[in-house]
Amino acid sequence: MSNMQLMKKLYIIRHAKSSWNKLNLEDFDRPLNKRGKKDAPFMGKILLEKGVIPDVIISSPAKRAKQTSIRIAKELRFKKVIIFDKKIYEAGPSVLEQILFSFDNINNTILLVGHNPGLNILVGNLVHFHGNIPTSGIIELSFDCERWSEISPKNATLVSFDYPKRHNL
């Protein structure tokens, strides 16, 4: 075996802006609003331009997260099945970590689409990030390890942080 260190890449994506039009709608069922429908594919195009090729896209099944992940996957020409994991909805950082730890190590690049505050706390636990991930915001992390079970603050690097308003959207 070569001792070349493999990198793990994680893109943490907060769902795009959702609609509050129907106040009787369950939180889980809130869809994207007009801006969200524009921002999600825009951010997908940015990932495409960066050459991001995800091995896995995993998302909360809440409607706004599902719609975000489908739009991003389409821009990335992602042909596999998006994993919709109910545990991501309303997950705290420890649940999100358990999900990441359980990934098959054959996967090097994962896109995780979910919600705040869980995503924000997870990122804050891994790297020095104390900002707020806005809707459609993407945090790119790299981990200097070969196994998802080994990701930790010791081997984590904040590579980039991007969101629609940085592009005057």
Place of tokens 């459609």: 136
Q: Are the C-beta atoms of residues 32 and 131 closer than 8 Å to each other?
A: no
- What domains, with CATH codes, occur in the chain? 7-18+27-167 (3.40.50.1240)
pTM of the model: 0.95
pLDDT in tens, 94-108: 999 999 999 999 999
pLDDT in tens, 108-135: 999 999 999 999 999 999 998 989 999 9
**72 vs 44: CA distance, rounded Å:** 4
Cα distances (Å, whole numbers) of residue 89 to 29, 45, 112, 142, 160: 12, 25, 12, 24, 24
What secondary structure letter does DSSP report for 82?
Answer: P
